[in-house]
Amino acid sequence: MYVTYRAAVVRNLALAIANGTITLIILLIAPLGLAAVITNTFLVTAASFFSATIIDSVMRYLEPKRVQEIDAGSANFEQPIVRSRQGDDIERR
């Protein structure tokens, strides 16, 4: 599956924001200081983004190489000649 670089970054950013939001909600319930909550939320968001980006790089490496696309306009293709048949041309048994 081919995904553009921009789409991959947007997907990874959305994933990181979702993970950061979940982490923020969980940490706000815990009895921690505000600085610890903000720091942990930022670290989870950054780790999610970078791990998703690394996974995308691994997936791109594992994908089979794309075959060079042939420009149909520059290629010289011979069209097969198909002769239309009449009703008398059909052999009946």
Contacting residues for 8 by C-beta, under 8 A, at least 6 apart? 53, 56
pLDDT digits (tens, 9 = 90+) for 12-47: 899 999 999 999 998 888 888 888 888 999 999 999
**pTM, 2 dp:** 0.58
The domains of the chain are located at 5-62
E strand map for the chain: none
* Planar angle of CA 7, 58, 56, nearest 5 degrees: 15
Cβ proximity of 13 and 52 under 8 Å: no
Cβ proximity of 52 and 15 under 8 Å: yes
